[in-house]
Chains A and B, each alone.
Chain A
Amino acid sequence: MGEPLFFSAQWADAVCGALTAGPSKEHRDGKLPEYWDYFELVKSAYPASWALGCRDLPAALGKCPAYLTVRWGGGSVTECQITGPDDPLDATYVLGMDYDGWRALHDGYDAQRTVMYRKILLEEGNLLEFFTTIYFFVECLAVIGTVPARRPT
């Protein structure tokens, strides 16, 4: 079976599985165990949801802006789906990124710099609250970037 199309329902399912599994062992081995303890602590009680938007999704992938909505509860992902411009947007934090930024993340660009260089930006939600768990968010963004997908050439 081929890779799911980027920003498709199948890709969102794969993202759900990847976030549930968490960062790979190889990725974890490069950082302190205490850092991952902190990650797991945040994950276990994370009450919020993200709508991660693509502002200029190519027409071949759907209407834009499209959002990958990720909802957390009880230490796991309770919802992970693609919502389109015609769907109601219901998330604690709405973030947006251009397709180029998504493509770069998917090609291995660093998630920390994706945030720091403002490729992905917070569009709605309390900024200071969002940043109290920023390391958790960045690690999850890195996981999302590793989920295989087909993109139009």
Chain B
Amino acid sequence: MRLLAHAVLTARCEIQGGALVAERKSPTAVLREGPRALSEAQVREIEEADLGSVGGVDIDDVIEYVHKDLKSLPDFITLYRKYLKQRWDVYDLDFTQDKIDWTEKMSEEERQSFIAVSSGFHHGERQVEIELPVFMIGASEEEKLHIAAQIEDEARHTVFFDRFYREVVGLAGDGIMDILDASFPWVSETFVGPFGLLAYQADEVRRNPYDERARVRYGTNYFLWIEGVLALSVMKVTLSYARWRGFLPAYYAGFTATCRDESRHVQGGMRYLQDAVRKDPSMISEIHDTLRTILSLSGVASRRIYFEPLGWTEQEVQTLFFQQLRRKLNDVGIDLPPDLEVLLEQVEPTLAGG
């Protein structure tokens, strides 16, 4: 498995239609490059790309774009206006080439590795769709618009994965839950950590929708951890593989557009947490307590996922998680108490040579 990954990692150039195309970065290059500034032209390309052109956008640029506004977070009306410009039609995607790539070009190892990662998204998108409505009740009027847009985004992402699993992977079923049932065997047992917690936090908010402390705990798990750390990290794994290998063009386009949607969600979520702490500095303890629970669970694995066929090692994926967490905390200005720093160091892998 490791040898296969190495072979893939060293294949940097390729001939397409007789012409030598530009060298593609390896999927993990970003771990060593660190943060970088996007040019105005790159930002414009990301913000204005439609579904037909978003496939040409580099996923590393989109993830960088998420962080662009974290230090001066946009207000909710600005985010809502961006949503209106950036929404896309999931039924416009054509998965014909993806099906050919999946069945004829990808190896069995690549397919199994890919599906082990993407099944978490298949279920994760559904979970963040259904657990969000209760959070709207206690939100400001402006934030309600943003949350309404986010719910629609998450519903679209759920359909995106439903289509991918039906039309590319080949799972069969009548309804959306049938396909979720069919992909569930690939979902790790530890999925219930963050997503079960979110379900119970949503219930806590449902019972007391104006309990700001419960809302901050919910927001820490949903916006900071699930969307800001887990989603953005794991998105990068499958997208950088697809871009690097030149496979799965509709998946790449749809999921890159999804990542752009997530940038609004993360920015809105960080805005909410930042505002909550500014209004009441004692709210920081709710963020810390939530992170304490999440980090205490994050070192546990129930099954081994082989990322190597996608160009990654498990340690590199973990490193990406914690890079994402540290960047969010730094950009939004959330300090960790000493015990959480120790906990983070215990579960945070170091990337050799990184």
Select from chain A the residue with minimum beta-carbon distance to B202: A118
Say yes or no: A132 contacts B296, CB within 8 Å. yes
Say yes or no: A32 contacts B199, CB within 8 Å. no
A77 lies within 8 A of chain B by Cβ: no
Select from chain A the residue with minimum beta-carbon distance to B127: A116
B189 lies within 8 A of chain A by Cβ: yes
B201 lies within 8 A of chain A by Cβ: yes
B197 lies within 8 A of chain A by Cβ: yes
Interface-side segment among B251-259, B297-305, B319-327, B345-353: B297-305
Residue from A31, A122, A138 within 8 A of B192 (CB atoms) = A138
User: When A and B form their complex, what is the total count of cross-chain residue pairs whose Cβ atoms lie within 8 Å?
Assistant: 78
Say yes or no: A110 contacts B184, CB within 8 Å. yes
Which chain A residues border B289 with CB–CB below 8 Å?
Answer: 128
* Number of residues from A at the complex interface, CB < 8 A: 24
Say yes or no: B197 contacts A31, CB within 8 Å. no
Instruction: Give the size range of B's interface with the partner.
Output: 20 to 34
Say yes or no: A131 contacts B303, CB within 8 Å. no
B258 to chain A, nearest CB (A): 21
Inter-chain CA distance A115–B194, complex, in Å, is 12
Say yes or no: B184 contacts A32, CB within 8 Å. no
Say yes or no: A131 contacts B293, CB within 8 Å. yes
Inter-chain CA distance A63–B184, complex, in Å, is 36
Residue from A34, A112, A128, A129 within 8 A of B196 (CB atoms) = A112
Say yes or no: B303 contacts A32, CB within 8 Å. yes
User: What 1/0 flags go to A94-116 for Cβ under 8 Å of B?
Assistant: 00000000000000001011011
Select from chain B the residue with minimum beta-carbon distance to A118: B199
Which chain B residues border A132 with CB–CB below 8 Å?
Answer: 293, 296-297
A112 to chain B, nearest CB (A): 5
Inter-chain CA distance A130–B202, complex, in Å, is 15
A91 lies within 8 A of chain B by Cβ: no
Inter-chain CA distance A138–B197, complex, in Å, is 12
Residue from A30, A38, A116 within 8 A of B199 (CB atoms) = A116
Which chain A residues border B300 with CB–CB below 8 Å?
Answer: 34-35, 38, 135
Select from chain B the residue with minimum beta-carbon distance to A115: B196
A98 to chain B, nearest CB (A): 14
Select from chain B the residue with minimum beta-carbon distance to A34: B301
Say yes or no: A115 contacts B204, CB within 8 Å. no
Say yes or no: A128 contacts B293, CB within 8 Å. yes
B141 to chain A, nearest CB (A): 28
Say yes or no: B200 contacts A31, CB within 8 Å. no
Say yes or no: B303 contacts A134, CB within 8 Å. no
Say yes or no: A134 contacts B192, CB within 8 Å. yes
Inter-chain CA distance A86–B192, complex, in Å, is 33
A127 lies within 8 A of chain B by Cβ: yes
Q: A residues engaging B (CB < 8 A)?
A: 30-32, 34-35, 38, 110, 112-113, 115-118, 121-122, 127-132, 134-135, 138
Say yes or no: A31 contacts B302, CB within 8 Å. yes
Say yes or no: A31 contacts B196, CB within 8 Å. no
With A121-B200, A127-B204, A132-B296 already in contact, the answer to whether A32 and B301 are too (CB < 8 A) is yes
Inter-chain CA distance A130–B293, complex, in Å, is 9
Which chain A residues border B328 with CB–CB below 8 Å?
Answer: none
Say yes or no: B191 contacts A116, CB within 8 Å. yes
Docked complex: B280-330 residues within 8 A CB-CB of A: 289-290, 292-293, 296-297, 300-304
Which chain A residues border B301 with CB–CB below 8 Å?
Answer: 32, 34-35
Which chain A residues border B217 with CB–CB below 8 Å?
Answer: 127-128
A91 to chain B, nearest CB (A): 17
Select from chain A the residue with minimum beta-carbon distance to B294: A131
Residue from B187, B297, B304 within 8 A of A32 (CB atoms) = B304
Say yes or no: B297 contacts A116, CB within 8 Å. no
Say yes or no: B302 contacts A131, CB within 8 Å. no
B212 to chain A, nearest CB (A): 16
Say yes or no: B189 contacts A121, CB within 8 Å. no
With A32-B302, A134-B193, A135-B193 already in contact, the answer to whether A117 and B297 are too (CB < 8 A) is no
Which chain B residues border A116 with CB–CB below 8 Å?
Answer: 127, 191-192, 195-196, 199
Inter-chain CA distance A132–B283, complex, in Å, is 20
B111 to chain A, nearest CB (A): 20
Docked complex: B176-230 residues within 8 A CB-CB of A: 184, 187, 189-193, 195-197, 199-204, 217
A89 to chain B, nearest CB (A): 18
Inter-chain CA distance A134–B217, complex, in Å, is 17
Say yes or no: A31 contacts B189, CB within 8 Å. yes
Inter-chain CA distance A145–B127, complex, in Å, is 24
With A35-B189, A110-B184, A112-B189 already in contact, the answer to whether A134 and B199 are too (CB < 8 A) is no
